[in-house]
A and B are shown apart, each in its own frame.
Chain A
């Protein structure tokens, strides 16, 4: 008998809790009080009425249980009244559904954000990050990278030169960092070098005189072309999606041999849509230049190409912004309009 009563009291305590939580007005609160504490029909009174049916030995325990329940209900009702609805009576008003204040939240520039994501992936692959100067020596930007002084390959990289400093230029790529790093460290080498680069291109929807690249370099014994592909596969699958397929095409960079242009399968349509906004129906996206470090470059940097080999790659960050995030015009990235910047980072 007493166990059954205790069970019922426990049930009533739970339903009271639920009902209390859903209360939204002083009127509802009053009704709840009536339901539980009314002398005639209240839940507590009904429990008390059942005391008569208990064995004399059980009566004190049963009475104690009912009393505890009554005290609990009274305390909870009075706390709820004080917190929520007592104040309401005096005219103040508490509505938790009112809108949140718009606290300012700043964001990273899209380019910096993408750069950070690329860096994070390579950090996890065990690469170091090495940054270099933007005003660079001709020797590191070109000569040591196997661009001979009067070679037409230099024409492909329209270069900004500095007045009064014949040996200096604005680096046309992040590749001179390869040279700087190789001159300063012994293999094994495993770095990426992100940063700004410059070419004398008039700004238009796909060109900018100032842009960002991430350069990668790995040099050790026994490194071959397949290692380059495996590394870039790991990166691209992490960055663009796990099903990405890579396509290597022969290319030319004076500082790599063999060289490859790298395409990824379209991450949006995987080549299935002829009007795809990302790949324009080709199924492929050109995103990287890469190759095995040219033996003459290794030699220029004091590394014996008969003992060591390595690979290098470079990708443009603006290109990623356009391809992956659909930014339609490269110039937008340098206008620094908060309406664009607020969408990323």
Chain B
């Protein structure tokens, strides 16, 4: 809201320099976005809030200054010289539905000559960012900027049938607006119409045909109060936002229509150079506005703010703001002024008191009472630990937007219908992510293309899906690695990331939670068919891991392998067992090694499955200790070495027992898989 400081002083005679004025306003909740001074005039651009439509005028700001400074008084324009006689005539105003329009006041003024506004009015309008047009249009604009009430002035000779009607549009009706746009109307739109046609979009914009032109002689001036929601929906439906609609959708003062009409007559009298008297005046006010009084206990302001403000001071502040107080002993009955459409609760009154009294008087105090039993968020604690673990292993955390391009969702799941934003910022941000992987791949590419040799990343964030009518979001941990695991230096050889390393890191994430992650071969659209795994915990899928396939890698212009995984964090946390003491076996273990040739057609996964299947009771654990392919190994074979650890629950196993068990077990293993012991 632009405020001309010189003009403002006509309504409250303060004596402050611009800086002090700005500070005073900020102290009561009016931030100055911009201050411009030129030719001795200062114009403030003041930020107002949606709850205070009364601030959208010079009167509104003047009232606030007078309320803050008890020595000052708000002095509105003197309108006593402009009477509004109840002059009936061959004209009529009708409101069809009182729930659309609270009040409609209008008058007819005859025999005008359209001319330029006086220079000082033109200058004032220009300073407020409005283009002077002619004295009639300018008068309506100046009234709005002065007291906040939007007016609309019609060329009377364009009105047919001697009437204006406030009614809803009928489907199929059209109207050419002042900005020359032709709009198609329906029942959502509230119109000002004459006997036969739409004239204007009520509270939003006038029609071109009934507007003021150079030849206009007689005018009909409208000063009305429309229902905020009706104006808002109508303006939204047409994508329109005007000074008038901005004010009406916030709520205007129904008591302000008549003074605004008088002000318009006063301004026109000045520009026309003669006292104008309306030839017709009618005020349709179906349900005069009445505000219920608010009960404000006298102790409540101190109770809610913690500030000791004497009751007399509270009453004085509310009084200066135009509230009427009825003293009823321990409380007041407070009636807000008609322009304060925001005041509804006793808390609203306390804010007024605190705001004018000054927030600077507020002392800080720690609340000591609120001590609920703390619920510790187990997931947060676990996730924090995982983050440290990943960072310690050299992964860097990234954070991405939750939206991406539709084809990026398809990369992770070509069959799933995405969750689409109705009003995205652009196609690239139009669907909610079904996976964090594509984002990580993009981050990897961006860094690699900057020449970074080691790009190891992780992200914790949400992925979204819809099941039927429901939207689900799951918290994911995504991890990726590209390039060098270790840079070459004087003591260490360079090492590239490889899948075994990557898988080990994921396994360590699982072990942190005391979970064993199983990697089961399963195709995933982002991963290479040779290296694509479903990650499972106790047989339940909880994510994916693999090497990024050639095509997505090529699209990202990455020339080395990328390994990536995405895990459902909440599922992992839910599966993680609580810690607890378990006694360990105190009897000694015995270890036996087994080195053998295995056909390359058999995978380790199959070997492992066979071990599990044939597992002797005393086998406690096993590990792969060596994998070798070389000259000494026949083609089509791989040499494996495994270590098997045997232990019995309640006694020490003898060497013979272990040997026998091991011999039988490895013999059956060899027979089933075609292994050759070395």
Interface residues of A (CB under 8 A from B): 98-99, 101-109, 111-112, 116, 126, 128-131, 133-135, 150-153, 155-156, 160-165, 168, 170, 185, 187-190, 196, 198, 200, 202, 209-210, 218-227, 229-234, 246-252, 254, 257-260, 292, 294-296, 309, 333-339, 341-342, 345
Contacts and interface: CB of A to CB of B under 8 A. Distances in A.
B421 interface: yes
Interface residues of B, number: 94
Interface string B296-307: 000000011111
Given A106-B392, A250-B28, A254-B51, A190 B429 contact: no
A224 B369 CA distance: 12
A150 B396 contact: no
A342 B355 CA distance: 45
Interface string B384-409: 10010011111111111111000000
Interface core residue of A161, A232, A341 (most chain B CB under 10 Å): A341
A338 B489 CA distance: 21
A227 B489 CA distance: 58
Given A105-B391, A155-B50, A225-B362, A128 B375 contact: yes
Contact of A292 (B304, B369, B392, B458): B304
B396 A229 contact: no
Nearest to A310: B370
Nearest to B379: A131
A218 B26 CA distance: 27
A246 B15 CA distance: 29
Nearest to B425: A209
Contact of B52 (A219, A252, A295): A252
Contact of A126 (B374, B397, B419, B424): B374
8 contacts: A102-B489, A104-B454, A106-B458, A150-B228, A187-B370, A231-B364, A251-B49, A334-B400
B330 interface: no
B316 interface: no
Nearest to B355: A250
Interface string B343-374: 00101101100110001101111110111101
Interface stretch (B275-283, B445-453, B553-561, B667-675): B445-453
Contacts of B396: 106-107, 109, 338, 341-342
Interface core residue of B31, B228, B471 (most chain A CB under 10 Å): B471
B455 interface: yes
B370 A153 contact: no
Contact of B422 (A112, A163, A336): A163
B397 A230 contact: no
Contacts of B359: 247-250, 260
A109 B398 CA distance: 6
What are the nearest 7 A-B pairs in CB distance?
A104-B394, A226-B306, A250-B29, A258-B351, A252-B49, A230-B364, A106-B391
A232 to B, nearest CB: 8
Contacts of B58: none
A259 B229 CA distance: 25
A225 B307 contact: yes
B400 A336 contact: yes
Given A188-B369, A224-B305, A248 B398 contact: no
A245 to B, nearest CB: 10
Given A105-B394, A225-B307, A257-B351, A165 B471 contact: yes
A219 B370 CA distance: 7
Contacts of B332: none
B377 interface: yes
Contacts of A246: 364
Given A150-B233, A165-B469, A223-B370, 17 more contacts: A103-B394, A104-B393, A106-B392, A106-B393, A109-B396, A111-B399, A128-B375, A135-B473, A152-B250, A161-B421, A163-B421, A226-B362, A227-B306, A247-B359, A250-B27, A250-B351, A337-B446
A157 to B, nearest CB: 11
Given A99-B489, A133-B473, A218-B367, A225 B397 contact: no
Contacts of A104: 393-394, 454, 456, 485-486
A128 B372 contact: yes
Contact of A258 (B305, B425, B447, B461): B305
A37 B467 CA distance: 88
Contact of A338 (B365, B372, B447): B447
Given A220-B369, A222-B369, A257-B348, A209 B401 contact: yes
Given A156-B50, A233-B364, A161 B397 contact: no
A161 B420 CA distance: 9
A162 B471 contact: yes
A220 B370 contact: yes
A106 B363 contact: no
Contact of B491 (A101, A109, A218): A101
Contacts of B167: none
A226 B365 contact: yes
B447 A161 contact: no
A150 B464 CA distance: 28
A231 B52 contact: no
A251 B355 CA distance: 9
Contacts of A337: 446-447, 450
A202 B397 contact: no
A176 to B, nearest CB: 14
Nearest to A163: B420
Nearest to B345: A295
B131 interface: no
A219 to B, nearest CB: 7
A190 B370 contact: yes
Contact of B490 (A99, A187, A189, A341): A99
A253 to B, nearest CB: 9
A231 B366 contact: yes
Nearest to B484: A104
A343 to B, nearest CB: 11
B462 interface: yes
A200 B370 contact: no
B380 interface: yes
B532 interface: no
B370 to A, nearest CB: 4
Contact of A229 (B362, B420, B423, B487): B362
A229 B364 contact: yes
B492 interface: yes
Nearest to A105: B394
Interface string B407-444: 00000000000011111110001001000000000010
B547 interface: no
A333 B354 CA distance: 39
Contacts of B492: 101
A256 to B, nearest CB: 9
Contacts of B461: 196
A98 B446 CA distance: 34
Interface core residue of A185, A209, A233 (most chain B CB under 10 Å): A209
Contacts of A112: 387, 397, 399, 460
Contacts of B27: 249-250
Contacts of A339: 450, 452
Nearest to B350: A258
A188 B424 CA distance: 40
Contact of A336 (B364, B398, B490): B398
Nearest to B389: A106
Interface core residue of B372, B377, B395 (most chain A CB under 10 Å): B372
Interface string B42-69: 0000000111100000000000000000
Contacts of B364: 226, 229-233, 246
B371 A126 contact: yes
B304 A152 contact: no
B222 interface: no
Nearest to A209: B425
Given A152-B250, A196-B402, A345-B397, A188 B372 contact: yes
Contacts of A188: 369-372
B28 to A, nearest CB: 6
B249 interface: yes
B423 A258 contact: no
